[in-house]
């Protein structure tokens, strides 16, 4: 019986896949659930198991060909009874179509009663129940076999959406392993993005049947990560057909599933063309092919855009598979070496800046012969390095500063801090005062709270979504306080304390790490008295509050005139995008912040009477 093998559905948004390698070749024997071929999409690379046992009669889609979901890939001449002398005869004769048909005819005669029972099962389960049970064991009934295993349906676990601007994530660790029992909402794996590291809970209770993306692999949002089977104890990994239908089964029942579905659902495809096809090479990149197998369409496209021969790229994925990061690193290392001529197809060569740098640039070789410790960079550190360099390359950044006398603010804080903490539950730092002044100055100079798009249009925001730089053991994060303009002093103090604590504890939500319109960095909390912060893209500016220090300054006294006095001073620093903000406007903005903080008209916010 001929069973067509089709391109499986590998995710909701995936419409096509590329055959990267046929694990079995024409004439080979294949068992149900045994890996048959490898497929690559723009979101996942995976092995696809055979839906039935039999002989791979013909391959219709060769390696490196891309076809849509549902396209016919191959034909398997499947077994009849799946065992005994008849099964062996089928295996030996499957390479010959006529012999295969003859063997199938003999099997049909031997199991005629079973075949009749199978047809009778669809009309009535009670009539011929004993014969139907025998038929399910030999020719199969997928639904019955699945329920007979003691398991419920399967649930596909996909890469979750972790924020508006986050498109991919890296699996850092599987907390559960294949075969483990997992409860709903129990941590299943850890994922890392360029903005957050977090644990992801299981969507359902069941058994983790298969893991499709291993630790340290990066995939896009929506990519299939694992399969969880519902209910019961540990179970075998499902066959391809059972996986899609949501009906996992044990090994024997899986075989029944595959053999039942072919005659019932694919009747129109029973007579496929099994004629010879021109052979095509499996390797795609030339050379020895060491880096050619299993690359995704995304990797191939990136290599094509930058004229990269994949056989020259050292793969870092499982089994030496070339990943996107490997191609980007290769392009980076190639530097200014002349690239190969464009392909004959005339495909336009994109700008070199299309590929993001995979690591920091090194201007000159590092010194040799020194005592040193080589510390591998964490993924977050690499992301921070990339973002900082990208920010400087994106916008024309300039830093200006003013001196701010914070003496009045610090005196108000000293008067109010104990009562404030008792009333609000958080400490009163100088930072909320600075934010109130910042928001008030933005009302007068709104361009500071803006961004420029790729077409040069200026987006001036009326909402102030304040990004607050937070130092954590893992690195720098910038959680966002939405609608900071609507908060009073107490609201800002609590919001700043809340996002900072949750960020350091690793409990900040991914959606809270994007969407800022202006940012603030408080380097003064670590003692720095001066700073030149880098803009958090795509913001037009970032404001820095370094340390407040006591030092002698010249002040004007109404009675004494100019005198030297000890004051609590702070630099108010603004790094701004000179494409958007002129130097004079930046200075005016800073002076406005200075005036508001030096006036220190915050008694009403603190519930204090004026002295």
Tokens describing residue 142: 């997928």
User: Whose CA is closest to 19, among 60, 52, 78?
Assistant: 60
Tokens describing residue 435: 């934010």
Task: Count CB neighbours of 268 within 10 A.
Answer: 7
Select which of 28, 96, 180, 578 is catalytic. 578
Active site (annotated) includes residue 582: yes
Question: Which residues, 6+ apart, have CB-to-CB distance to 4 below 8 Å?
Answer: 72, 73, 74, 75, 262, 266, 269, 272
Task: Count CB neighbours of 605 within 10 A.
Answer: 19
Strand, coil or helix: 550: strand
Q: What backbone phi and psi angles, to 5 degrees, belong to 362?
A: -120, 115
User: Whose CA is closest to 358, among 393, 328, 313?
Assistant: 328
Tokens describing residue 35: 């890996």
Chain-centre distance of CA 117, in angstroms?
Answer: 49
CB-CB contact of 574 with 542 (8 Å): yes
Question: Which residues, 6+ apart, have CB-to-CB distance to 332 below 8 Å?
Answer: 355, 357, 358, 359, 361
CB-CB contact of 355 with 306 (8 Å): yes
Task: Count CB neighbours of 560 within 10 A.
Answer: 9
Alpha carbons 110 and 120: distance in angstroms, whole number: 18
Active site (annotated) includes residue 578: yes
CB-CB contact of 33 with 237 (8 Å): yes
Chain-centre distance of CA 412, in angstroms?
Answer: 47
Strand, coil or helix: 356: coil
Select which of 185, 463, 582, 601 is catalytic. 582
Please provide the DSSP assignment of 155-198 as one string: EEEEPPP-STT--EEEEEEESS-TT-EE-TTSEEEEEE-SS-EE
Active site residues: 578, 582
């Amino acid at each position: 019986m001929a069973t067509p093998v089709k391109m499986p559905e590998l995710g909701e948004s995936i419409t096509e896949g590329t055959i990267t390698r046929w694990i079995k070749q024409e004439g080979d024997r294949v068992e149900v659930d045994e890996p048959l071929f490898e497929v690559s999409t723009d979101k996942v690379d995976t092995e696809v198991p055979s839906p039935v046992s039999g002989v791979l009669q013909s391959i219709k889609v060769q390696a490196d060909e891309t076809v849509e979901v549902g396209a016919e890939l191959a034909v398997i001449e499947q077994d009849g009874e799946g065992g005994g002398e008849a099964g062996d005869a089928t295996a030996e004769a499957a390479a010959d179509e006529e012999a295969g048909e003859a063997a199938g005819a003999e099997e049909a005669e031997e199991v005629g009663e079973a075949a009749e029972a199978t047809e009778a099962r669809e009309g009535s389960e009670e009539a011929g129940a004993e014969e139907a049970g025998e038929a399910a064991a030999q020719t199969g009934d997928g639904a019955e076999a699945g329920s007979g295993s003691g398991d419920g349906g399967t649930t596909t676990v996909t890469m979750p959406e972790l924020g508006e601007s986050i498109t991919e994530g890296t699996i850092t660790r599987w907390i559960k392993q294949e075969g483990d029992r997992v409860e709903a909402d129990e941590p299943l794996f850890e994922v890392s993005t360029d903005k957050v590291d977090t644990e992801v809970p299981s969507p359902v209770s069941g058994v983790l049947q298969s893991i499709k993306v291993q630790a340290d692999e990066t995939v896009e949002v929506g990519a299939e990560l694992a399969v969880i089977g519902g209910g019961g104890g540990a179970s075998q990994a499902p066959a391809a057909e059972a996986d899609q239908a949501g009906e996992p089964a044990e090994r024997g029942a899986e075989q029944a599933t595959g053999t039942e579905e072919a005659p019932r659902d694919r009747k129109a495809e029973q007579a496929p063309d099994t004629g010879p096809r021109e052979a095509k090479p499996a390797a795609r990149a030339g050379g020895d092919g060491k880096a050619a197998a299993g690359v995704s369409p995304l990797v191939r496209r990136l290599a094509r855009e930058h004229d990269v021969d994949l056989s020259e790229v050292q793969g870092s994925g499982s089994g030496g598979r070339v990943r996107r990061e490997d191609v980007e690193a290769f392009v980076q290392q190639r530097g200014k070496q002349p690239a190969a001529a464009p392909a004959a197809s005339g495909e336009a060569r994109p700008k070199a800046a299309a590929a993001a740098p995979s690591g920091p640039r090194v201007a000159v070789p590092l010194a040799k012969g020194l005592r040193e410790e080589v510390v591998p960079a964490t993924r977050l550190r690499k992301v921070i390095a990339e973002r900082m360099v990208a920010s400087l390359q994106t916008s024309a950044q300039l830093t200006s500063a003013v001196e701010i006398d914070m003496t009045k603010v610090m005196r108000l804080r000293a008067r109010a801090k104990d009562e404030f903490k008792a009333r609000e539950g958080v400490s009163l730092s100088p930072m909320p005062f600075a934010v109130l002044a910042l928001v008030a100055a933005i009302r007068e100079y709104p361009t500071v709270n803006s961004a420029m798009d790729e077409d040069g249009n200026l987006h001036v925001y009326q909402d102030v979504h304040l990004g607050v730089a937070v130092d954590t053991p893992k690195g720098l994060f910038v959680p966002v306080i939405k609608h900071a303009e609507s908060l009073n002093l107490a609201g800002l103090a609590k919001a700043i304390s809340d996002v900072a604590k949750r960020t350091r504890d690793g409990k900040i939500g991914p959606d809270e790490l994007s969407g800022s319109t202006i940012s603030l960095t408080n380097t003064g909390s670590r003692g720095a008295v001066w700073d030149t912060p880098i803009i958090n893209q795509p913001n037009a500016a970032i404001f820095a509050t370094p340390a407040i220090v006591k030092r002698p300054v010249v002040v004007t006294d109404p009675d004494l005139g100019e005198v030297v006095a000890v004051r609590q001073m702070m630099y108010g620093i603004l790094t701004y995008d000179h494409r958007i903000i002129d130097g004079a406007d930046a200075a005016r903005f800073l002076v406005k912040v200075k005036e508001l903080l030096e006036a220190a008209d915050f008694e009403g916010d603190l519930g204090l009477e004026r002295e």
